Amino acid sequence: MKTWLITGCSSGIGKGIAKAVLESGDQAIVTARNKDKVMDIVEAYPEAALAVSLDVCSQDSIKNAVKEAYDKFGTIDVLVNNAGYGYRSAVEIEAVQTLYQTNLFGPIELIKAVLPKMREQKSGYILNVTSIAAARSAVGSGYYASSKAAL
């Protein structure tokens, strides 16, 4: 049995991955900025799932989520960096900074948070969910595409 920490589980790919992981018999830390949005997953798998509030733009939030995961399950075998943020516009710097923090720098910080224990246990997987936009960007999506390509 593996323990997965999955970001961005409130909808879409993250929610689908979480459900597939739990249905297969593994354990999952399901995260969203507001953990109330993932409580339906935990209610369906109360012994194997843990809901955690996680804002990948916040170092404190990252540290807390990883700590809660280790406190509950003792390990993280798989990290899925799935949380993402889209932005289509010109050059509003605050929005661009949030996009990069969410799509690139936050996932890097999560990798840094779990990698020491993975190295210690000599096993683990890190999956980074990017986008087709990394290869084929739409007009006005250059920042999004570049953040996903960088990841």
Q: What SS3 state is found at 134?
A: helix
| Catalytically annotated residue among 45, 100, 143, 144 | 144
Tens of pLDDT, residue by residue, the chain (151 residues): 999 999 999 999 999 999 999 999 999 999 999 999 999 999 999 999 999 999 999 999 999 999 999 999 999 999 999 998 887 776 778 889 999 999 999 999 999 999 999 999 999 999 999 998 888 888 888 899 999 999 9
Q: Residue 85 catalytic?
A: no
Q: What whole-number distance in Å separates Cα of residue 92 and Cα of residue 122?
A: 43
* Own/partner long-range contacts of 110-113 (Cβ < 8 Å, ≥24 apart): 110/5, 110/7, 110/56, 110/62, 110/66, 110/79, 110/81, 111/79, 111/81, 113/62, 113/63, 113/66
pTM: 0.94
The residues facing 3 across adjacent strands are 27
